[in-house]
Amino acid sequence: MFVLILVKIGGSVITDKNVYRRFREDSCKKIIQTLSILNEDLIMTHGAGSFGHIIAKKSGFPKKFKQEDVHAFSIVHKDVLDLNTRIAGIMLEEGLSPISIPTQSIYRNGSPDLTDFKKYLSLGFTPLGMGDVILRAGMIKIISADDLLVALSAVFKPNLVIFMTDVDGIYDNDPKTVSDAKLLKSIDRNIAFSQVMNDVTGGMKSKYEKILKIRKHAGKVVVVNGNKPERLNDIGEKDFIGTVI
Ligand code: ATP
Ligand code: IP8
């Protein structure tokens, strides 16, 4: 049914966002197992979770570059690469052929150069992008994997884009702080978003704004619980648990 699928594995699923560099290997493995058996063309990206957001926030990123930022910038970048290597390792174990495409090297100008994604996808690899910090025009910027999906969707026109977070989809309020928050099975109204702790990319609100841009180029966009990746098999069914945009 699907031909090209773009995925963001959220840092909220594969890391503990409250604990610096805590990787959730089992959750990551389960997601990759589920994606690999879909047997479709895949472009994967992942967020930074506690491998990026904690130090970035502590260091005041994004901000104007100052010499004293060099070390923290370097730590965030190295931690993101560490997370990326762990994910790529699991992908290999599950029979995929990942190729990591560093955000550092594709954001040379204002918009990203996606040539490598195209090249490797056409050769049967699974391109793997990541949220990272970049230096541009005297600024330290944060490129979220959500930003990458906006750019990738405009070029690849995917049939399906999947966002995975640690909750069941998009709610009418933050389900972690509002006990009667309701899951929106499909989006048709404005939502009150709360800031996500330890997140420097605007949490769910900014994700939703990016999803609306992606929606223009994609057949379907879904937000699902990455801890229950098997729900992907129910997309299109009445009892699918997640948000369809
Ligand atoms: P990362 O940027 O580290 O990759 P992520 O993409 O997995 O993270 P977050 O930015 O952490 O995702 O967003 C998911 C979090 O957003 C959830 O843990 C949830 O508590 C919070 N949240 C806030 N408002 C909402 C909402 N209206 N619906 C769903 N989740 C919400
Ligand atoms: O986790 C953010 O990417 P995201 C990247 O996809 C950093 O929002 C370094 C915080």
Q: Tell me what percent of the residues of the chain surpass a pLDDT of 70.
A: 93
CB atoms within 10 A of CB 47: 29
pLDDT in tens, 40-64: 999 999 999 999 999 999 999 999 9
Residue 193 has pLDDT above 70, yes or no: no
Residue 228 has pLDDT above 70, yes or no: yes
**Ligand 1 contact, 50 CB (< 6 A):** no
Taking CA atoms only, the protein residue closest to ligand 2 atom 1 is 47
The average pLDDT across 126-148 equals 96
The average pLDDT across 172-196 equals 75
Residue 49 is which amino acid?
G
CATH number of domain containing 176 = 3.40.1160.10
**Ligand 1 contact, 194 CB (< 6 A):** yes
- The pTM assigned to this predicted structure is 0.95
Q: Looking at the 3D structure of the chain, how many domains does it have?
A: 1
Q: How far is residue 25's CA from residue 238's CA, in Å, rounded to a whole number?
A: 31
**Ligand 1 contact, 176 CB (< 6 A):** yes
- Return the pLDDT at 195: 52
Taking CA atoms only, the protein residue closest to ligand 1 atom 5 is 10
**Ligand 1 contact, 166 CB (< 6 A):** yes
- Return the pLDDT at 197: 46
DSSP 113-139: --HHHHHHHHTT-EEEEE-EEEEETTE
Q: Could you tell me the pLDDT band of residue 206, with boundaries at 50, 70 and 90? A: confident
Q: Classify residue 182 by burial, with Cβ atoms within 10 Å: 0-12, 13-18, 19+.
A: exposed
Q: Which of 70-79, 93-102, 193-202 has the lowest mean pLDDT?
A: 193-202
- Return the pLDDT at 194: 55
| DSSP-derived 3-state class of residue 24 | coil
Residue 208 has pLDDT above 90, yes or no: no
Query: 149: CA distance to ligand 2 center in Å?
Result: 12
Q: Looking at the CA of residue 53, tell me the nearest atom of ligand 2.
A: 10
Q: Which domain holds residue 235?
A: 4-244
Assess contact for 140 and 201: CB atoms under 8 A.
no
Q: Looking at the CA of residue 173, tell me the nearest atom of ligand 1.
A: 27
Residue 95 has pLDDT above 90, yes or no: yes
Tokens representing 215 are 């929606």
